[in-house]
């Protein structure tokens, strides 16, 4: 996703036997990031790295990156059938929030002993907020596009 001329990490390409050597070289470079030999992940690899993660790790990572920048990770609406998917996502995220809150509320109140649950509650709460905002965006988009058609 980063223009070739500004990439910090120069991954190799090739054909035939050169392709195999390039893949081995690229695997070694990536392995060094994965095992911590190289500590900082360059910005030009960040998007590709995040996009390659399976769910739920990908959404967790996107949420953490957005939070680090003082933002919320909210999907852009617009796909066919997104309205129903938005509602389903909101309900699912709310259910996740209730599950995260359950151990913290087991004694009927919040207190210092709930610190181990705080990160999961915060993350689940952020996901509910993002789902609500996504649903609002979808409603706004649909209302405005249909109003323009009329």
Q: Please say whether the beta carbons of 97 and 34 come within 8 A.
A: no
pLDDT tens across the length of the chain (150 residues)? 677 777 778 788 878 778 888 899 989 988 898 888 988 888 888 888 888 899 888 888 888 888 888 887 877 665 555 677 778 888 999 999 999 999 999 999 999 999 999 989 998 998 899 889 888 888 888 888 766 776
Report the SS3 class of residue 69: coil
**CA angle 72–98–103, rounded 5-degree value:** 115
**What pLDDT does 80 receive?**
52
d(CA 65, CA 72) in angstroms, rounded, equals 9
**What pLDDT does 117 receive?**
95
**What pLDDT does 6 receive?**
74
DSSP string computed for 126-144 = HHHHHHHHHHHHHHHHHHH
Q: Please say whether the beta carbons of 66 and 72 come within 8 A.
A: yes
Domains of the chain, by residue range, sit at 4-52, 53-150
**What pLDDT does 150 receive?**
65
The pTM for the full model equals: 0.57
**What pLDDT does 114 receive?**
95
């Amino acid at each position: 996703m980063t223009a070739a001329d500004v990439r910090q990490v120069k991954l190799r390409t090739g054909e035939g036997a050169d392709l195999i050597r390039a893949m081995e070289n690229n695997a070694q470079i990536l392995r060094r990031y994965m095992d911590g030999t190289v500590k900082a992940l360059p910005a030009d690899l960040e998007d590709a790295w995040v996009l390659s993660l399976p769910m739920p790790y990908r959404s967790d990572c996107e949420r953490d990156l957005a939070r680090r920048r003082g933002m919320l990770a909210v999907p852009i609406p617009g796909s066919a059938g997104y309205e129903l998917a938005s509602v389903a996502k909101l309900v699912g995220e709310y259910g996740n929030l209730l599950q995260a809150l359950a151990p913290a509320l087991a004694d009927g109140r919040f207190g210092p002993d709930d610190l181990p649950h705080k990160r999961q509650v915060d993350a689940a709460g952020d996901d509910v907020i993002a789902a609500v905002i996504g649903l609002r965006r979808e409603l706004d988009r649909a209302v405005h596009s249909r109003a323009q058609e009329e």
